[in-house]
C-alpha cells in the first residue's frame, strides 16, 4: 500500500509541472503576437534587468518637454530588445521629449504598477506593449480619467475597449502573408505550376494564424499554386529543419518554401542543402520577420526574400504623439512601416540591420 | 507447441519486448500507409533516408534518456535537462568565436557536470524532493542561457563544430556514434563496475543498502552528475545540428520525452531495476513516431492528440494488470 503513494505524488507533480509550463507557454504567444520568433515557452521569466517599474528616471521640472511613459513587456527576445532600443533612441535623442521607461519582466502587475506611476507623475502620453490581452480596463480607465492618451504598441487588448486608447501601432500579420504571396506570384507568374511547403508557426499564435490566412487567401484564385504540405515548426530552427527533412524524403518536387518566420526558413535551408538541393535556386525560400541572419542568408544566395516585421516602432510612436498633441485625428490602427527585402535590396540593407 | 507457449511467456516477461513491439507496429503501419517512408539513398557519400533521420534526430534524446534512466533508477527524476542542454549549447556557440573547438566542447560538458552536481547536491545532501530540486534549474536554467546569448539566437559558421551534429562517419550521421558511445560507456559502467549494482540496490531500498555498506549519497550524486554531462553533450549536438543556439527553444519539453522513453522502456518510476536497452528502444519509438507524423502530414493542430493516443495505447499494453484482464477473459494465465 505504502509503495503506491510516491508514484501518485510523482504523477501529480508531473501533471502540475506540465500545466505550469503550458501556462507559461501560452502567455508568451497569446495576445496580438507581435513577435514571430518569440514562441513563448520561456519558462523562466528571465530576470535580466533588475530595474523596478517604479524606479523611473528622477523627476525633472518638465516645463516644455513632453514626458512619455513607456511600459515595456521585458527583454525576452532580440526582437523586443530592438523595439526597446528604438524607443529609447527616438525619445532620448530628441530634446523635446523626456522618456520614463519601465521593464515589467513579463508581468502584467508590473505593467499596471508602472502605468499608475506614470499617471501619478502626470506624464503627457503613455506607451504600452501589453503582455496579455485582458485585464487592462481599470488601469486604462484611470489614465483616461486623468486625461493622458494611451498608445498600444505591437500587441492589442481585448476587443470592445477601443475607447480606452488612442491608437494601436503594430504589424498587420495578414498583410505580411499577402506580401509573401505577392513576391512569389511576381517571381513565378500568375499561371505557373508551383508546389509550396508551408512551415507554420506555433499552433494558435496569432502571428501564425494570420500569416497563414493572408498567404492562402492571396493564392486561393490561382489554381497552379498548390500548398502540398503544411506543418508547424514552432517558430524554431530545429523544428523547421526536422519537418523539412521529413517532407523531402517523401517528395522533392517543391518550388517554394514559405516559413512563418525566418528562423524556420533558416532551418529548412539546412535540410534542403543536406538533401543535395540548392536552397534559393532549386527551391525558393520565403521568410517573415527580417532578422539579420535572414539578410545574411539572402546575401549568400540561400534565401530569396524576407517580409519585415518591424520592431523599430519608436519613430511612429513619436509621430503619433505629436499628431495627437496637434489635435489631429489618428487611425485606430496605425500599421507599422514594413518592407519586403529581396535580392540586391536586402544586400544593401544588411549593414544597417539592427536585430 | 508447449515450447512455443513457454517461449512466448518468457518473451512477454522481457521488458524490452514492449517498446520493440510498439516500434514494429508503427513501422508496419508506415509500410502500408506511406511506403516511401523506407526509401533509402546513397547521397554525397552517406546514407540518406527517414530511418537515418530517426537515428540522427533521436540521438540527443537517447543521450538525455540514458542519464534520466540512471536518476529514475534511484527513485529520482531530473526535469532540468532541457534547460541544462540550452545552457551548454549557448555557452558552446558563444565561446566558439574566441576559443578552439576542444575548449568549447570541454566548457559545454563542464557546465553540464556542474549543473548535475548542483542537482545532486540539492537532492542527495540537502534531501530536497528531486522534482522540486530540479525544478529550480529548469526555471533559472533558461534564464542563464538567455543571459549567455543576450536574448538573441546565436549563429555559428564553424565547420568543425557543425561536424558534431551534421557530419558523417562511415556513411552514417556522426551523432549516432556519440549516442552509441554514451550508451556503451554507461552500459559498461552498469555491468562491469559496482556502481550499477549499487544504484539498483540504493534505488530499490535506500535504508537496506545503507546498512549493507553502500553510501547512497555518493551514488545519487554520481547519477545526477552523469545526467548533467549527458544533457551537456546533447546541448552541443543540438546546437551544432542547426548551427545556432536558441536559449528559449533548444530542448524545450525534452525532459518529458526522456521520462516517457524511460517509462516505455520498462524502468519503474519507483526505482530499482533499470533497463538501458529498453530506454533506447523507447526513445527510438518516440522519435519514429514524430518522424512518421511529419511524413504522414498530420494536421498541426492534432499532432499532440495523435501522439497522446499512441502513447496511451503503448502504456496500456505495457501494463501487466491491463494485459491480464484481457487475457484472463480468454484463458487462465499463470501469475507472474
In a domain, A289, yes or no: yes
CA distance A271 to B182: 26
In a domain, A54, yes or no: no
If asked whether residues A119 and A231 sit together in one domain, one would say: no
CA distance A293 to A354: 11
Q: Which domain holds residue A187?
A: 173-309
If asked whether residues A252 and A283 sit together in one domain, one would say: yes
If one compares B331 and A351, the residue with the highest pLDDT of the two is A351
- How is residue B111 annotated by DSSP? H
A230 vs B: CB within 8 A: yes
Nearest to B270 among A7, A234, A242 (CB): A7
Whether residue B300 and residue A46 make contact (CB cut-off 8 A), yes or no, is no
Q: Is the pLDDT of residue B336 over 60?
A: no
User: In this structure, what are the phi and psi dihedrals at residue B130, rounded to the nearest 5 degrees?
Assistant: -55, -40
If asked whether residues A116 and A135 sit together in one domain, one would say: yes
Q: For the residues of B160-207, what is the DSSP string, one character each?
A: HHHHHHH-EETTEEHHHHHHHHHHHHHHHHHHHSHHHHHHHHHHH-HH
CA distance A147 to chain B (A): 36
If one compares A28 and B250, the residue with the highest pLDDT of the two is B250
CA distance A321 to A327: 10
Whether residue B294 and residue A263 make contact (CB cut-off 8 A), yes or no, is no
Pairing relation of β-strands A150-153 and A97-103?
unpaired
If asked whether residues A212 and A325 sit together in one domain, one would say: no
Q: What is the pLDDT of residue A58?
A: 43
Whether residue A250 and residue B36 make contact (CB cut-off 8 A), yes or no, is yes
Residue from A204, A226, A15 nearest B303 by CA: A204
Q: What is the pLDDT of residue B329?
A: 63
Whether residue B39 and residue A249 make contact (CB cut-off 8 A), yes or no, is yes
Which positions ≥6 away from A94 have C-beta within 8 Å? Answer: A318
CA distance B91 to B115: 13
In a domain, A297, yes or no: yes
Helix or strand or coil: residue B154?
strand
- CA-nearest residue of chain A to B141? A44
CA distance A70 to A127: 4
Neighbouring C-beta atoms of residue A162, cutoff 10 Å? 13
A94: domain CATH number is 3.40.50.2300
If asked whether residues A139 and A185 sit together in one domain, one would say: no
The CA radius of gyration of chain B, in Å to the nearest whole number, is: 21
A14 vs B: CB within 8 A: yes
CA distance A75 to chain B (A): 7
The CA radius of gyration of chain A, in Å to the nearest whole number, is: 22
Helix or strand or coil: residue B110?
helix
Q: What is the pLDDT of residue B330?
A: 59
Whether residue A250 and residue B34 make contact (CB cut-off 8 A), yes or no, is yes
Q: How many domains does chain A contain in total? A: 2
Q: What is the pLDDT of residue A336?
A: 85
Q: Is the pLDDT of residue B146 over 80?
A: yes
Whether residue B246 and residue A238 make contact (CB cut-off 8 A), yes or no, is yes
CB pairs under 8 A between A and B: 135
Residue from A263, A262, A172, A153 nearest A210 by CA: A172
In a domain, A13, yes or no: no
Q: What is the pLDDT of residue A229?
A: 94
**ipTM of the complex as predicted:** 0.85
- CA-nearest residue of chain A to B166? A274
Q: b or e along A165-197 (b: 16 or more beta carbons within 10 Å of the residue's beta carbon)?
A: bbbbbbbbbbbbbbbbbbbbbebbeeeeebbbb
Set of cell numbers at residue A258 = 514559405
If asked whether residues A268 and A323 sit together in one domain, one would say: no
- Chain B residues within 8 A of A80 when measuring between CB atoms: 151
If asked whether residues A95 and A207 sit together in one domain, one would say: no
Helix or strand or coil: residue B98?
coil
If asked whether residues A194 and A235 sit together in one domain, one would say: yes
pTM higher than 0.90: no
In a domain, A220, yes or no: yes
If asked whether residues A135 and A189 sit together in one domain, one would say: no
Low-confidence ranges of chain A (pLDDT < 70): 1-63, 76-77
- Chain B residues within 8 A of A47 when measuring between CB atoms: 143
- CA-nearest residue of chain B to A79? B152
In a domain, A9, yes or no: no
CA distance B282 to chain A (A): 19
CA distance B96 to B155: 10
CA distance A184 to chain B (A): 24
If asked whether residues A276 and A333 sit together in one domain, one would say: no
Q: b or e along B52-85 (b: 16 or more beta carbons within 10 Å of the residue's beta carbon)?
A: bbbbbbbbbbbbbbbbbbbbbbbbbbbbbbbbbb
Helix or strand or coil: residue B47?
strand
Pairing relation of β-strands A340-342 and A305-308?
antiparallel
In a domain, A355, yes or no: no
Helix or strand or coil: residue B79?
coil
pLDDT in tens, B77-108: 999 999 999 999 999 999 998 898 999 999 99
Nearest to B294 among A48, A247, A293 (CB): A247
Pairing relation of β-strands A150-153 and A167-170?
parallel
Q: What is the pLDDT of residue A6?
A: 52
CA distance B156 to B154: 7
Q: What is the pLDDT of residue B281?
A: 92
* pLDDT band per the 50, 70, 90 thresholds, residue B11: low
Show the 3-state SS of chain A.
CCCHHHHHHHHHHHHHHHHHHHHHHHHHHCCCCCCCCCCCCCCCCCCCCCCCCCCCCCCCCCCCCEEEEEEECCCCCHHHHHHHHHHHHHHHCCCCEEEEEEECCCCHHHHHHHHHHHHHCCCCEEEECCCCCCCCHHHHHHHHHCCCCEEEECCCCCCCCHHHCCEEEECCHHHHHHHHHHHHHHHHCCCCCEEEEEEECCCCCHHHHHHHHHHHHHHCCCCCEEEEEEEECCCCHHHHHHHHHHHHHHCCCCCEEEECCHHHHHHHHHHHHHCCCCECCCEEEEEEECCHHHHHHHHCCCCCEEEECCCCCHHHHHHHHHHHHCCCCCCCEEECCCCEEEHHHHHHHHHHCCC
Whether residue B269 and residue A10 make contact (CB cut-off 8 A), yes or no, is yes
CA distances from A284 to A96, A275, A280, A331, B171 (A): 47, 15, 5, 36, 29
Tell how far CA B115 is from the center of its chain. 17
- Per the DSSP assignment, residues forming a β-bridge with B166 are none
Q: What is the pLDDT of residue B331?
A: 56
Tell how far CA A131 is from the center of its chain. 12
Could you tell me the domains of chain B?
A: 47-297 (1.10.3470)
Set of cell numbers at residue B55 = 537515428
A37 vs B: CB within 8 A: yes
Q: Is the pLDDT of residue B321 over 90?
A: no
Stretch 252-291 of chain A: residues touching chain B, C-beta under 8 Å: 263, 266-267, 270, 274-276, 291
In a domain, A30, yes or no: no
Helix or strand or coil: residue B41?
strand
Nearest to B151 among A17, A81, A250 (CB): A81
Stretch 103-162 of chain A: residues touching chain B, C-beta under 8 Å: none
Residue from B69, B59, B45, B21 nearest B196 by CA: B69
* pLDDT band per the 50, 70, 90 thresholds, residue B68: very high
Q: What is the pLDDT of residue B86?
A: 93
pLDDT in tens, B183-192: 999 999 888 8
Whether residue A238 and residue B34 make contact (CB cut-off 8 A), yes or no, is no
Nearest to A231 among B141, B147, B300 (CB): B300
- Chain B residues within 8 A of A212 when measuring between CB atoms: none
Burial class of residue A299 in the structure, from the number of CB atoms within 10 Å of its CB (0-12 exposed, 13-18 middle, 19+ buried): middle
Whether residue A39 and residue B243 make contact (CB cut-off 8 A), yes or no, is no
If asked whether residues A110 and A231 sit together in one domain, one would say: no
If asked whether residues A264 and A292 sit together in one domain, one would say: yes
Amino acid at each position: 500500500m505504502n509503495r503506491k503513494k510516491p508514484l501518485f505524488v510523482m504523477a501529480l507533480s508531473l501533471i502540475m509541472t506540465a500545466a505550469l509550463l503550458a501556462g507559461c507557454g501560452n502567455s508568451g504567444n497569446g495576445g496580438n503576437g507581435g513577435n514571430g520568433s518569440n514562441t513563448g515557452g520561456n519558462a523562466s521569466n528571465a530576470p535580466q534587468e533588475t530595474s523596478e517599474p517604479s524606479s523611473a528616471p528622477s523627476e525633472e521640472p518638465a516645463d516644455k518637454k513632453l514626458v512619455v511613459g513607456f511600459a515595456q513587456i521585458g527583454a525576452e527576445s532580440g526582437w523586443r530588445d530592438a523595439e526597446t532600443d528604438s524607443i529609447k533612441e527616438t525619445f532620448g535623442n530628441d530634446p523635446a521629449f523626456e522618456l520614463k521607461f519601465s521593464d515589467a519582466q513579463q508581468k502584467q502587475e508590473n505593467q499596471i504598477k508602472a502605468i499608475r506611476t506614470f499617471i501619478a507623475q502626470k506624464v503627457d502620453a503613455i506607451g504600452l506593449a501589453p503582455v496579455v490581452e485582458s485585464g487592462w480596463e481599470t488601469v486604462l480607465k484611470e489614465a483616461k480619467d486623468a486625461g493622458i492618451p494611451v498608445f498600444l504598441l505591437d500587441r492589442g487588448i481585448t476587443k470592445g475597449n477601443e475607447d480606452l486608447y488612442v491608437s494601436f501601432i503594430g504589424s498587420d500579420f495578414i498583410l505580411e502573408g499577402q506580401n509573401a504571396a505577392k513576391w512569389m506570384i511576381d517571381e513565378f507568374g500568375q499561371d505557373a505550376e508551383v508546389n509550396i511547403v508551408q512551415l507554420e508557426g506555433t499552433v494558435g499564435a496569432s502571428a501564425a494564424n494570420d500569416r497563414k490566412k493572408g498567404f492562402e487567401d492571396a493564392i486561393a484564385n490561382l489554381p497552379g499554386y498548390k500548398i502540398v504540405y503544411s506543418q508547424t515548426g514552432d517558430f524554431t530552427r530545429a523544428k523547421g529543419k526536422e519537418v523539412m527533412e521529413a517532407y523531402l524524403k517523401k517528395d522533392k518536387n517543391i518550388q517554394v518554401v514559405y516559413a512563418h518566420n525566418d528562423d524556420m526558413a533558416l532551418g529548412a535551408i539546412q535540410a534542403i542543402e543536406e538533401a543535395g538541393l540548392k536552397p534559393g535556386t532549386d527551391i525558393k525560400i520565403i521568410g517573415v520577420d527580417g532578422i539579420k541572419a535572414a539578410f545574411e542568408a539572402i546575401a549568400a544566395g540561400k534565401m530569396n526574400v524576407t517580409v519585415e516585421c518591424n520592431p523599430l516602432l519608436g519613430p511612429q510612436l513619436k509621430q503619433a504623439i505629436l499628431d495627437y498633441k496637434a489635435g489631429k485625428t489618428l487611425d485606430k490602427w496605425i500599421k507599422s512601416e514594413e518592407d519586403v527585402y529581396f535580392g540586391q535590396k536586402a544586400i544593401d540593407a544588411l549593414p544597417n540591420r539592427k536585430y | 507447441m508447449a515450447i512455443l507457449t513457454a517461449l512466448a511467456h518468457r518473451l512477454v516477461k522481457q521488458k524490452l519486448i514492449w517498446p520493440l513491439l510498439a516500434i514494429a507496429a508503427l513501422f508496419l503501419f508506415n509500410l502500408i500507409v506511406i511506403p516511401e517512408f523506407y526509401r533509402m539513398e546513397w547521397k554525397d557519400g552517406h546514407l540518406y533516408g527517414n530511418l537515418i533521420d530517426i537515428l540522427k534526430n533521436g540521438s540527443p534524446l537517447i543521450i538525455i534518456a540514458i542519464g534520466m534512466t540512471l536518476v529514475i533508477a534511484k527513485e529520482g527524476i531530473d526535469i532540468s535537462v532541457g534547460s541544462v542542454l540550452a545552457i551548454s549549447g549557448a555557452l558552446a556557440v558563444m565561446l566558439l568565436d574566441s576559443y578552439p573547438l576542444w575548449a568549447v566542447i570541454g566548457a559545454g560538458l563542464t557546465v553540464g557536470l556542474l549543473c548535475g552536481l548542483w542537482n545532486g547536491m540539492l537532492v542527495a545532501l540537502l534531501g530536497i524532493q528531486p522534482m522540486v530540486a530540479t525544478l529550480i534549474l529548469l526555471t533559472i536554467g533558461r534564464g542563464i542561457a538567455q543571459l549567455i546569448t543576450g536574448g538573441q539566437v546565436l549563429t555559428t559558421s564553424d565547420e568543425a563544430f557543425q561536424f558534431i551534429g551534421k557530419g558523417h562517419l562511415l556513411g552514417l550521421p556522426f551523432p549516432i556514434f556519440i549516442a552509441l558511445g554514451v550508451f556503451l560507456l554507461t552500459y559498461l559502467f552498469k555491468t562491469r563496475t559496482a556502481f550499477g549494482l549499487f544504484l539498483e540496490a540504493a534505488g530499490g531500498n535506500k535504508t537496506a543498502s545503507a546498512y549493507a555498506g553502500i553510501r547512497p549519497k555518493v551514488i545519487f550524486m554520481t547519477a545526477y552528475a552523469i545526467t548533467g554531462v549527458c544533457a551537456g553533450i546533447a546541448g552541443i549536438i543540438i546546437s551544432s545540428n542547426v548551427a545556432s543556439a536558441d536559449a528559449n527553444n533548444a530542448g524545450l519539453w525534452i525532459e518529458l520525452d526522456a521520462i516517457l522513453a524511460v517509462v516505455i522502456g520498462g524502468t519503474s518510476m519507483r526505482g530499482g531495476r533499470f533497463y538501458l536497452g529498453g530506454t533506447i528502444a523507447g526513445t527510438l519509438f518516440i522519435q519514429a513516431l514524430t518522424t512518421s507524423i511529419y511524413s504522414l502530414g498530420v494536421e498541426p493542430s492534432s499532432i499532440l492528440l495523435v501522439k497522446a493516443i499512441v502513447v496511451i495505447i503503448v502504456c496500456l499494453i505495457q501494463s501487466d494488470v491491463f494485459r491480464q484482464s484481457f487475457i484472463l477473459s480468454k484463458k487462465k494465465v499463470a501469475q507472474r
